[in-house]
A and B are shown apart, each in its own frame.
Chain A
Amino acid sequence: MKVIINKGTIFFQGKFQQLGRMVLDKGKILEITLASAKVKKAKSDHKDKSEANAQVIDADGKFVLPGMIDAHTHLGLEEEGVGWTDADLNESFGLVTPHVRAFDAVKMRDRAFQDALAGGITTAMVTPGSANPIGGQCCILKMTGNVVEEAVVKESSGMKFAFGENPKKVYGDQKQFPCTRMGTAAVIREWLMKAQDYSKKKKSKDFKEREIKLEALLPLLEGKIQARAHAHMADDIITAYRIAQEFNLDLVIDHCTEGHLIAKELGRWKAKAVVGPTFSSRCKPELRHKTFDTVRLLLDEGCQVAITTDHPVIPIEGLSLCAALCVRHGLEEERAIKAVTEYPAAILGLDKKLGKLEVGFDADVVVWNGHPLDVRSTVDVALIDGKKVL
């Protein structure tokens, strides 16, 4: 069934414009006509029959936006309000766990998926936690579906790595290697090296015994999935970059708390950064330089930047709030909106189908009753693949 959205203010081609109408069909955006466009007066008897039964949404006085994207969350891994039974975030007695997959542990009935829709978010990347130097496989999901198979955009989109305080604390507390940054980097190198050799060995004739951890690292080395590096401190970011260069990985920096201190370098590297959770306290030393300026400073240097809540660190609903706080710290409104729509889509490699309202893109559309960066605004309607989900 077609959906027609009439009037309202649309975020289209990078700015707010007046919408004439938008038509959604078969899960995609079929047509966008601005109010300013000259439309041939359609004769009433020629009216498209398929539009007779269409669901019509009147957005007059409202704001029509692409569904927001959070490129770094733990949605569904640690179901809210449940406790240990549903805590599936960190396989923290494993050290190197590239073979664990967030996809196998996401619980679609987590209340947070509803909250995400209410916050205007329609797509999110879900990653294992940061306890392990090599933590496991990330997936990309839309925010609706009975089982995770119905929500999937990518079953395995990236490999999680963690640098800095988290892994060294988890294993240091267990009185195990690694308990330093040197050790963390060494473990990661060791396994990437093994995987490279494994890849060569696998091509030989008499190769027999597969090793699931190394199998899981092959798509990473082949550039089919991204390296997602949890790194807060500037030095950790640079270590991640160093390793990515050594092994020719497609790197995304997650958190990137001190990114602004090395903005020039990151700009030169055309770095991809998913910045946040900035609206949290400086609860550990590596967060001491946290600031809402980071997003702007990195964008100015030519980095690709997305804003993240790192749900559940900040509840997922707070994504638009985080973008608004960046505006308070000097980021232009348009770029702030792009940093939760277009830019995360590009970082996730989905810029051909998600993150913008454009003909042919997925019909993930959110109608807000006010300006999306005004904290008082609420989501009136959320559509995913052209289906009303809120």
Chain B
Amino acid sequence: MSILFDSVRLFTAGAFFPGQKVLIEKGKVAAVGSKVLKTADVNIDGKGKFLMPALIDAHTHLGLFETGQLTPGSDMAEMFQPITPHLRPLDGIKMRDQALDDARRAGVAVCMVCPAPTNPIAGQCSILKTNGNSADVGLIVEQAGILVCFGEEPKHTYHRQKKAPSTRMGIAALIRETLMKAQDYAEAKASKKGIRDRNIQFEALIPMLEGRVPMRAHAHRLEDIMSAIRIAEEFKLKLILEHATEAHLIAPMLAQKGIPVVLGPALVPHLRFELRAKTFESAVILMNAGVEVALTCDFPGLPIESLRIVAAMACQYGLDEKRAVNAITENPAKILGVHNRCGQIKKGYDADLALFSGHPLDMRSKLEMIVVDGELFQF
């Protein structure tokens, strides 16, 4: 099915330009501009409306937590065993959960889904589109990194159970121990002799140790961020910081090391001690320093609808429209490594678009339509 958006205000090259057309064919963007002459099966008159790339949230637990069912519907946290790199979101996502519909209604087409941060090594991260009937179809990148967690969450989880690790020292030690073992395992596997008895945990860590996927480090406090950087450097891992509540305190260092940040969720109270320095200013401080920043609502930390709101809140604290929109479209696409197909409206890109009744950073504007992989949803 081909779709033509006609006479829209289109977000392109950093601003909204009126009188634009976008043609979608076979799930991809086929043409963009004011002079698209082709017609389509569905013509949408977008006069006065705002069309932008569909939103991307680079850190969620979408589909793992089932609406209204904390247990048994929650498949977020395997919380009685601290090292679980072999967990895969694919095996826990419920595609027909209300959250997926909510995501589409919020204009979100792409999400990174990861396990909850209860474990020092929590599991695999996957990148999911919000259409589709099963996760097998919806997952566009199954292995997009390993979630490694620092700070209060893992500490609390195991301290409560009177088990190790119950301190920050113990968390760092356990992560190092596991990575060291996995390194030796990988070496033995690559040797002539090879390996007979495979270890599923180490197998899951090999792509990260080889630098093919990043370590995605859940860290709020400065000290925990530094521990993540220290360990990433020791094991030569690619690093992405998740949440990074206090990252703005070391913005120049992160810029210099080229470490991207998935920032948020900022629209929560200072509930925990490690959130004490949380501020909406973080985004603008980090971006001014030259750090790649994506904003997240960490669903279900915040409802998925709040992704637009956190971007608008960052504008209150000095972020401009262009960078605010990029922080929920192009930047997360880059951080997730899918920027050659998602995050922008360009010829050949995935047809992921969101049509709003007004400016998307104005909370009064309503999402009227979303296209995910060429599939149109109207609300």
Contact = CB atoms under 8 A, between A and B. Distances in A.
Interface of A: 77, 82-94, 97, 99-102, 104-109, 128, 136, 146-149, 174, 208-210, 212-213, 215
Interface in B155-210: 155-156, 158-159, 162-173, 176-177, 180-181, 183-185, 187-188
Given A101-B173, A210-B180, A84 B167 contact: no
A99 B176 contact: yes
Given A99-B177, A212-B177, 18 more contacts: A89-B167, A91-B165, A92-B166, A93-B163, A99-B173, A100-B172, A104-B168, A104-B171, A104-B230, A105-B168, A136-B173, A146-B249, A147-B222, A148-B226, A208-B184, A209-B181, A210-B181, A215-B180
A212 B180 CA distance: 7
Given A101-B173, A147-B226, A212-B176, A88 B184 contact: no
A91 B156 CA distance: 13
Contacts of B185: 209
Contacts of B250: 146-147
Nearest to B191: A208
Interface residues of B, number: 37
Among all A-B residue pairs, the 10 with the closest Cβ atoms: A104-B172, A105-B168, A100-B169, A91-B170, A88-B167, A212-B177, A85-B273, A100-B173, A88-B168, A93-B164
A208 B184 CA distance: 6
B223 interface: yes
Contacts of A148: 223, 226
A261 B180 CA distance: 45
A128 B165 CA distance: 14
Given A208-B187, A208-B188, A88 B163 contact: no
B274 interface: yes
Nearest to A155: B230
Contact of A210 (B166, B171, B184): B184
A215 to B, nearest CB: 7
A104 B226 CA distance: 8
B245 interface: no
A104 B166 contact: no
Contacts of B226: 147-149
B223 A147 contact: yes
B346 interface: no
A89 B176 CA distance: 19
Interface string B218-238: 000111001100100000000
Interface string B124-160: 0000000000000000000000000000100110110
Contacts of A108: 222-223
B38 interface: no
Nearest to B246: A109
B223 A91 contact: no
A278 to B, nearest CB: 27
Contact of B164 (A89, A94, A149, A210): A94
Nearest to B176: A212
B169 A85 contact: no
Nearest to A149: B226
Contacts of A83: 273
24 contacts: A83-B273, A85-B152, A90-B167, A91-B166, A92-B166, A93-B158, A93-B164, A94-B170, A97-B164, A97-B170, A97-B173, A99-B173, A99-B176, A100-B172, A104-B169, A104-B172, A105-B168, A105-B172, A109-B222, A128-B169, A136-B169, A147-B223, A210-B184, A215-B180
